[in-house]
Structure 1
Amino acid sequence: MLTRLKTDRTSPRHVLFMPTHAGNIFPYLPIASQITGASASGVENRYGDASIAEQASGLARDLRDTLPKGAEVICAGWSFGGTLAYEVASALSEAGLRGVSAVLIDAPVAGPDNRAEPFLAIDDRFCEFFVDKAGFEMKPYPSLRTLKDALQAVDPRLTDDLVDQLYLRYALNQARWLRYAPSPGNVPVLQLRAVQSDWPDQNFRAWEAACTRYGQRRTPGDHYSAIAGKNAAAIAAVLSEDACALATQH
């Protein structure tokens, strides 16, 4: 259920990284390694075939049985993971857990009232996500067959079937995200918007409307580079602070 990424036995604070579109947590490793004053774990999603609401409900139910008593929980997520972070944090708070907050990393909302076109280029986005994280310089992004060959050259465990499963999970979550609207909630939420991100303000207004305790900060990079390289340190610095206080101060 939880993959421990960093342990700090002196602090009750625990950062939980929610799975991305494709259901993995590896993009968070550069961030987790630089967090101070908190433990960090990646949340494995065994509910990936369900709706966003059902995924969040299942993850929250599992986490209630897993988290240590008295833990101060920060649910964090990038892009689609931010959607899950908010919904899981809301579910945990409604279940009676105190000190729960959510940090969304450049996590826009699609939906009928927002610009949805960037969500529709599934092949390009999928390739961009995996190719950039694998360290390749391949633009325009390759076909799925070329992508498989490139990834398998780095890690032979990434079989055709596994990449197909990841791609399907990615595509299904993209479709769910297009129809998503945040449920109203009182959990503290801090949105970290990448300064070079293409997403306009209108794709973030749904969060402001749904969240009674909502704040924003700007972090370096674009939607993808915000969580990589030196930019990951800026995200880690925020997650090392009191996210509940941050969300109400900005």
Structure 2
Amino acid sequence: MRTLVAIPVYNEEKYVTQVLREVRKYAEHILVVDDGSTDQTPMLLAQQKVDVIRHAENRGYGRSIRDAFRYAQCYCYDWLITMDCDEQHEPRSLPDFDKAIEADDADVLSGSRYLDPAYSGDPPPPDRRAINLEVSKWVNEHLDLHITDSFCGYKAYRVSKLKHLNLNEDGYAIPLQFWVQAAAHQLRVKEVPIRLIYNDPNRSFGGKLDDPEHRIAHYREVFDAELEKYADKLAAKSPCSCPGR
């Protein structure tokens, strides 16, 4: 069983060295996707024994995730774990994902900051929690996936299932595409509890997405478009899901 840990980064000079030091305690294969960083991140990555994909310019979080998907498929990994580089996804949770992978009863293992009250920590910014709740409601009502955290980027994917997906979203709305396609292709989804951490409640999404009303309207537009695109598959197939433990 070969597992790749992929970490998208953009101007993470504050965290990248320490995060990679911790990840290396739990993972042998590590990929960093540098989304056009303009700070010291590229120089710091050059000092690390990790594989790096570097974008010449900032192309978006979704593009970085898609690049990680392609890399994992190209190099024949069995599982791909994605995590952020801002210390909000703890590397010490990687063994929890490994244990869930070994259970072999899901195709997507999605981290949840809200599944288990024992993992509660820093309160999220109110607008982010409200949007997460609303989007999770859409996902559960339309796709019957029973998830509690629709936007957590700490996930494990069975790589053989990624070939079924046709994602083209470059930005932060990629989870909306992903959940619809996961349901349409009957991927089995299970949640893994992770600790709720918010080191920087003022972290920017960039541009108009910093406005919560614009952000949720954009997410709804992407979600509705994807529902329409996969309407036939969703109608014909009952998506399989596994409620989180």
Task: Report the TM-score range of the alignment, normalised by the length of the smaller protein.
Answer: 0.3 to 0.5
TM-score (norm 1): 0.33
TM-score (norm 2): 0.33
